[in-house]
């Protein structure tokens, strides 16, 4: 027998909001999408800013774990364009300066060193500056931003967008130590910092040690280093024929940048089958739209050169064999030669800590990675914290931000002698959306439209200008239309068994057949005997207490459209549509929600 679902547990309703649940920073997605539809772009932007600090950057570059999670994928096919709506909020917002947290002029006397000026460190600064901390950022490059600035080409992310969102935090009064590469952690520890946060990312591109690598090295470049050089304008051209080796997002950025720096014949080669490529589908799609061919199952064997002058790359064709769900790449013996002037290596990157002395109390594991607490982000030296790619290897910007928020909480606790394991609870709220008998304060008449494509700049123009943004973003009308596709999963179907008269009205009206009245049973049996069996085990079922007839109400959350028809057809108000607000706890407790609500 199943017990009534404990909806008081904040995780129950949070999990129903698939996008927010999937977002590492738990951004309240449906809330800001509704604000976009109301043309309240500034508020929508600030809700984002509070959760993920870089809405303009992320609205263009996020890995968007929210989108594959979007309920719309299960209900039809294409998710709501959450990421690009975020950009629409950033593009259309007005001045936000009055909405930013106040920075106390009287400091609290605690000094924090942030090593590496990327999204993780900047998030820590964003959370600690309003509390009166004195934060110092050490950055080896002349400007802060980390990989957002160095590794993402400007045709995907204009420099102005990075400057705006990075400077906003630096302008809180962060002490800037730029062009200053930290060569020794000991030297930092010896200074009077109360805590040190290491957010140095994963700056080391992997090399490919095959014959010819050394001899032809002047035309073989490590992708992320090359992109950095392009970003800081140290490199402005490349050979006509370019081979990019690798199948991740860096490879896609390398090949598209090559096209804009004079490459005419640019190829991407991947060792694995195309379906297994690491790059996001949309990045692959953009590269292919620009006419770049992708050769999969190509394993590089040799850099062919004549007296040190690169001639091309020799590949061996591979074949993928699958056994027990595991993939094996088998060489076929067939070789292929691609002529080229330059090679870009984009076969992965890793974090590296040659600058951390091994005798200062920071333990490293067998893979030469620091031991970092998964919850507190604290290293074995209590004063030192890690976050972003530096903590556990390459992830992405949104994870770096999530780490930064958590690390800031830990640093704040650490500096105030509070228990680091004692994490603050999220702020949650549940409020009825009923406005009249059949009126709700959210748009429940959902759009049947397919996902709207983001308009692109003319290819002829954008391919000749490294700084011309390829995606133009949604205009206001498209943003509105796309926003209407959101199913408002944060508007929860809340059931009160004491009011139910078991008239079946909700069962009859539900367009997706997720409501059932049946005899209680084990979860396994209940799932099977619903009108449409609840076979997606990753989604919960909502089970009520016993009703008058001895049955229980069972609702499968999987496909629910949150259209509110159950509540509209309920004669007694046993069903109600209530907005579930979930705000992740941060070190800085000021909240834009007070302003929006």
Partner 1 sequence: MTYIKKPIFRHPSLPTNEIGLTYRDYEGVVSTLCAGCGHDSITASIIDACYELSLPAHKIAKLSGIGCSSKTPNYFLNNAHGFNSVHGRMPSVATGANLANRDLVYIGVSGDGDTASIGLGQYCHAIRRQLNLTYICENNGTYGLTKGQFSATNDKESKNKKGLDNPFGAIDLAIMAIELGAGFVARSFSGDKEQLVPLLKSALQYNGFSFIDVISPCVTFNNHGYSTKSYDYIREHRSLFGELDFIPEEETINTSYAEGETVTIKLHNGNDISFKKLGADHDPTDPHKVLNTLRNNRSDGKVTTGLLYVDPDKSDLHDTLNTSSKPLNSLSMNDLCPGGEELEEINNQFR
Q: How far apart are CA 516 and CA 529, in angstroms?
A: 9
Tell me which of 334, 508, 519, 546 binds partner 1, using CB under 8 A.
508
Q: Which of 268, 271, 253 lies closest to 319 in space, CA to CA?
A: 271
Alpha carbon distance 480, 485 (integer Å): 9
Residue in 261, 314, 329, 512 binding partner 1, rule: CB under 8 A = 512
- What are the structure tokens assigned to 250, written together? 């860096």
**Binds partner 1 (CB under 8 A): choice among 571, 589, 595, 597:** 571
Rounded to a whole number of angstroms, the minimum distance from the CB of residue 509 to partner 1 is: 7
Of the ranges 47-55, 183-191, 281-289, 570-578, which one interacts with partner 1 (CB under 8 A)?
570-578
Q: How far is the CB of 538 from partner 1 (least distance, A)?
A: 15
* DSSP sequence for 531-554: SS----TTS-EEE----TTS-EEE
Helix axes 41-52, 82-92, angle to 10 degrees: 120
**Residue from the set 368, 380, 525, 572 that interacts with partner 1 by CB under 8 A:** 572
Segment contacting partner 1 by CB under 8 A, of 217-225, 236-244, 332-340, 496-504: 496-504
Helix (H) or strand (E) run with residue 494 in it: strand 491-495
Name which of 91 and 556 has its Cβ closer to partner 1. 556
Stretch that binds partner 1, among 270-278, 380-388, 490-498, 528-536 (CB under 8 A): 528-536
User: Rule CB under 8 A: is residue 513 a binding residue for partner 1?
Assistant: yes
What are the tokens at 454? 């983001």
Binding of partner 1 by 171 (CB under 8 A): no
Choices 104-112, 215-223, 423-431, 442-450 (CB under 8 A): range interacting with partner 1: 442-450
CB-nearer residue toward partner 1: 139 or 490: 490
Interaction of residue 427 with partner 1, rule CB under 8 A = no
Report the alpha-carbon angle 271-273-276, nearest 5.
100
Structure tokens at 233: 């304008």
Say how far apart CA 55 and CA 23 lie, in whole Å: 13
Please give the Cα distance from 525 to 521 (Å, whole number).
6
CB of 555 to partner 1, least distance (A): 13
Which 73-132 residues touch partner 1, going by CB under 8 A? 74-76
Cα→Cα distances 202→145, 225, 314, 513, Å: 14, 12, 29, 48
Phi, psi of 408 (to 5 degrees): -65, -40
Q: Which 534-563 positions form the footprint of partner 1 (CB under 8 A)?
A: 535, 548-549, 559, 561, 563
Is the backbone of residue 425 left (phi > 0), alpha (psi -120 to 50) or beta?
beta
**In the set 533, 546, 595, 597, which binds partner 1 (CB under 8 A)?**
533
Residues that bind partner 1 (CB under 8 A): 74-76, 438-439, 444-446, 448, 501-505, 507-509, 511-514, 532-533, 535, 548-549, 559, 561, 563, 565, 568-572
């Amino acid at each position: 027998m199943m017990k009534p679902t404990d909806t008081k547990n904040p995780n129950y309703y949070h999990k129903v909001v698939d996008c927010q649940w999937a977002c590492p920073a738990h951004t309240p997605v449906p809330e800001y999408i509704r604000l976009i539809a109301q043309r309240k772009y500034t508020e929508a932007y600030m809700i984002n800013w509070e959760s993920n600090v870089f809405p303009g950057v992320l609205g263009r570059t996020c890995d968007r774990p929210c989108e594959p999670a979007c309920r719309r994928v299960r209900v039809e096919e294409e998710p709501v364009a959450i990421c690009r709506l975020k950009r629409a909020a950033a593009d259309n917002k007005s001045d936000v300066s009055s909405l930013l947290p106040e920075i106390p002029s009287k400091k609290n006397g605690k000094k924090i060193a942030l090593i590496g000026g990327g999204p993780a460190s900047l998030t820590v600064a964003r959370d600690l500056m309003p509390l009166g901390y004195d934060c110092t950022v050490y950055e080896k490059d002349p400007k802060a931003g980390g990989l957002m600035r160095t590794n993402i080409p400007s045709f995907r992310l204009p420099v102005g967008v990075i400057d705006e969102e990075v400077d906003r935090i630096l302008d809180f009064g962060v002490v800037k130590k730029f062009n200053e590469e930290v060569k020794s952690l000991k030297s930092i520890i010896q200074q009077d910092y109360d805590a040190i946060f290491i957010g140095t990312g994963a700056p080391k591109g992997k090399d490919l040690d095959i014959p010819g690598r050394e001899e032809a090295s002047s035309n073989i470049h490590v992708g992320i280093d090359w992109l950095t050089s392009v970003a800081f304008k140290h490199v402005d051209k490349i050979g006509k024929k370019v081979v990019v080796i690798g199948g991740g997002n860096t490879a896609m950025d390398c090949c598209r940048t090559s096209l804009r720096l004079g490459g005419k014949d640019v190829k991407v080669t991947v060792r694995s089958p195309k379906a297994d490529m690491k790059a996001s589908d949309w990045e692959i799609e953009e590269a292919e739209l620009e006419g770049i061919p992708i050769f999969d199952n190509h394993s590089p064997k040799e850099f062919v050169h004549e007296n040190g002058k690169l001639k091309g790359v020799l590949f061996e064709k591979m074949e993928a064999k699958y056994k027990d769900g595991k993939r094996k790449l088998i060489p076929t013996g067939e070789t292929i030669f691609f002529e080229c002037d330059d090679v870009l290596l984009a076969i992965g990157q890793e974090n590296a800590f040659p600058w951390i002395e091994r005798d200062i109390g920071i333990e490293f594991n067998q893979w030469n990675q620091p031991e970092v607490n998964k919850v507190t982000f604290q290293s074995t030296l209590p004063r030192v914290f890690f976050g972003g790619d530096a903590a556990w290897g390459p992830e992405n910007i949104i994870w770096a931000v999530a780490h930064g928020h958590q690390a800031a909480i830990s640093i704040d606790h650490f500096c105030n002698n509070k228990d680091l394991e004692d994490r603050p609870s999220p702020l949650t709220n549940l409020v009825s959306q009923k406005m009249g008998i059949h009126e709700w304060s959210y748009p429940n008449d959902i759009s049947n439209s397919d996902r709207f494509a983001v308009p692109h700049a003319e290819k002829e123009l954008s391919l000749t200008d490294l700084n011309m943004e390829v995606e133009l973003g949604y205009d206001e009308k498209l943003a509105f239309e796309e926003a209407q596709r959101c199913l408002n999963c944060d508007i929860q179907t809340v059931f009160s068994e004491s009011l139910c008269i078991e008239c079946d009205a909700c069962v009859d009206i539900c367009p997706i057949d997720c409501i059932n009245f049946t005899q209680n049973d084990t979860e396994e049996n209940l799932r099977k005997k619903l009108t449409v069996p609840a076979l997606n085990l990753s989604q919960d079922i909502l089970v009520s207490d016993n009703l008058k007839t001895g049955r229980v109400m069972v609702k499968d959350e999987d496909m629910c459209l949150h259209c509110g028809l159950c509540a509209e057809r309920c004669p007694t108000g046993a069903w109600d549509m209530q907005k579930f607000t979930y705000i992740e706890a941060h070190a800085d407790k000021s909240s834009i929600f007070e302003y929006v609500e």
